Structure 1
Amino acid sequence: MNANDLIPDRYHGVWQRTLLQTPATHDTTTWVRWLQTGLWHGDLRVPPEADRTTPAGRAEQQGFGGTTLITHPDAGQPEVCTWQRQIDLQPPRSTPDAGHMVFEAPDCVHETGIHGQYFEVWERLPGSLGTRIALAALDATGAPTAERLLVAGRYLMHLRPRSAAWPAGTAPDDSLAEVVARHPQRAEDLLDFDISFGTLEHGVWTIERASVPALEGRVDSVTVQRKDQHTAWVGSARLPQRWQVLEWHAVDAPD
């Protein structure tokens, strides 16, 4: 990773969405966390009204991960943040996920949609600055996979994508709920996508929210150790052990 690839420090940390405004929606209750390292992001969104005991309810969640790009348009225009999604709980989009960003304060940023009509307010969580780590799980051959482990300050997010391919006929901008409704026999495979978020303190990971509801409230022992320039080991009962280092800025790193 080249230092020029890193996004500005002002974006680092974990951001909580406190408002979504669209022509049809005023939402202050959906649970949303965006974790941002120097380059990598993870995002999880859980609607409060979703009945997550059912496949249809779980399909209403959103979550994704990938790299983040900051660009500067013409003079006088707000800078643009683009979330380049490499994995996504929902089907592919037809337009980029990008917004104009205006920092109203160091810990508050306003996002206005470019390819959609929306306005969002994001507030940075205390304790989410300092350590920034991004890891990619390694498979049995030592090749990196799409599975990610991200750390920002005292927060950890794990992202494991589904292994199933989208069914034939899935079109850009279909919702996962629509795909599951068309292919109910494949619901579990399509929903087998784990994004888990919580705090990592003194080697204890407490999961606050997860796309798999049964994981919420779980407390696991997790240690993250860098072995060399390119590899790290994770000690955990349910996470892979060997990881590729994508980014490692260890200030008060997890013990």
Structure 2
Amino acid sequence: MSPPTIPDRYHGVWQRTLLETPKGRDTTSWVHWLQTGLWHGDLRVPADAERATPAGRAQQQGFAGTTTITRPDPARPEVCTWQRSIDFQPPRSTPDAGHMVFETPERVIETGIHGSYLEVWERLPGSVGRRIALAALDAAGEPSAERLLVSGRYLMHLRPREAAWPADTAPDDTLTQVVQRHADEAEALLDFQITFGTWGEGVWAVERATRPALEGQARPCTLGRAGDAEATLACEGLPPRWRVLEWHAP
């Protein structure tokens, strides 16, 4: 049985070109959302983050999980909900959901449901067609929370931290606040790796990553099926065996 899929108009990699909130406008942060038929990955890097320091790295955001599209009120735009199974930042108190209006097939406006904001998203050329979502297999051969997502010519890898949140972490705390309270645990709390770039002809060219040292690297990277349920990956630093969650490669 095939997994549920969201409408084709959402597939691809979307670059945020504008964020408006009551606090102001942001047109400089690097923000990309990769969407397959069901799974999403997201990476957000503030332009002014001093990422060589723990405080700067803690300003980054990123997450992955499944996506649903609903229309509970026919008089309102449809609702996109990003259900986060892994998250660089601490848990939120409200769902990540927004009303979505497509101005053109390549441009969608998101307005907040549980917060006051407006975001403009524009789809990157070459980001539709191929859609792959994989979960890394652990030593026992079971799927882990680590994800590898492909959309068109783009690839995103997301490996969550192993450390649990400290007991005093409250909903809507920022990672900056948690790291400030637990400076001795900073490296473990920041050990959440998200890496994004173009992938073609067996090479993954890393554009942005939560670990800045990875940016600009060109890694040999090949991916293939190993049956209906598994895939194999040859890419430095990444697991070799993966469970297939979604595979659409025309």
Q: CA deviation at 1:113?
A: 0.2
- Equivalent residue pairs, number: 250
Work out the CA distance in 1 between the residues paired with 2:202 and 2:24.
40
Match of 1:16 in 2: 15
Match of 1:71 in 2: 70
Match of 1:120 in 2: 119
Match of 2:92 in 1: 93
Q: TM-score, normalised by structure 2?
A: 0.99
Match of 2:43 in 1: 44
Match of 1:28 in 2: 27
Query: Which digits, 9 at most, give the CA deviation of each residue in 1:129-160, with x for residues without a partner?
Result: 00000000001110000000000000000000
After TM superposition, which residue ranges in structure 1, 4 or more long, deviate above 3 angstroms? Answer: none
Q: CA deviation at 1:237?
A: 1.7
Q: CA deviation at 1:76?
A: 2.1
Q: CA deviation at 1:75?
A: 1.5
Query: Which digits, 9 at most, give the CA deviation of each residue in 1:86-142, with x for residues without a partner?
Result: 000000000000000000000000000000000000000000000000000001110
Work out the CA distance in 1 between the residues paired with 2:211 and 2:24.
26
Q: Which is worse superposed, 67-76 or 140-149?
A: 67-76
Q: Determine helix, strand or coil for the equivalent of 1:188.
A: helix
Match of 2:129 in 1: 130
Match of 1:2 in 2: 2
Work out the CA distance in 2 between the residues paired with 1:226 and 1:160.
21
Q: CA deviation at 1:60?
A: 0.3
Work out the CA distance in 1 between the residues paired with 2:58 and 2:236.
27
Query: Which digits, 9 at most, give the CA deviation of each residue in 1:54-107, with x for residues without a partner?
Result: 000000000000000100122221000000000000000000000000000000
Q: CA deviation at 1:174?
A: 0.2
Alignment of 1:69-218 (within 5 A): 69-218=68-217
Query: Which digits, 9 at most, give the CA deviation of each residue in 1:140-199, with x for residues without a partner?
Result: 110000000000000000000000000110000000000000001100000000000000
Work out the CA distance in 1 between the residues paired with 2:226 and 2:154.
21
Work out the CA distance in 2 between the residues paired with 1:12 and 1:169.
38
Q: Determine helix, strand or coil for the equivalent of 1:222.
A: strand
Q: Percent identity?
A: 70
Q: TM-score, normalised by structure 1?
A: 0.97
Q: CA deviation at 1:25?
A: 1.7
Work out the CA distance in 2 between the residues paired with 1:92 and 1:241.
30
Alignment of 1:43-62 (within 5 A): 43-62=42-61
Task: Note the residue ranges of structure 1 that are not aligned, 5 or more in a row.
Answer: none
Q: CA deviation at 1:38?
A: 0.1
Q: CA deviation at 1:236?
A: 1.2
Q: Determine helix, strand or coil for the equivalent of 1:174.
A: coil
Q: Determine helix, strand or coil for the equivalent of 2:84.
A: strand
Q: Determine helix, strand or coil for the equivalent of 1:103.
A: strand
Work out the CA distance in 1 between the residues paired with 2:45 and 2:236.
25
Work out the CA distance in 2 between the residues paired with 1:75 and 1:88.
31
Task: Note the residue ranges of structure 2 that are not aligned, 5 or more in a row.
Answer: none
Match of 1:238 in 2: 237
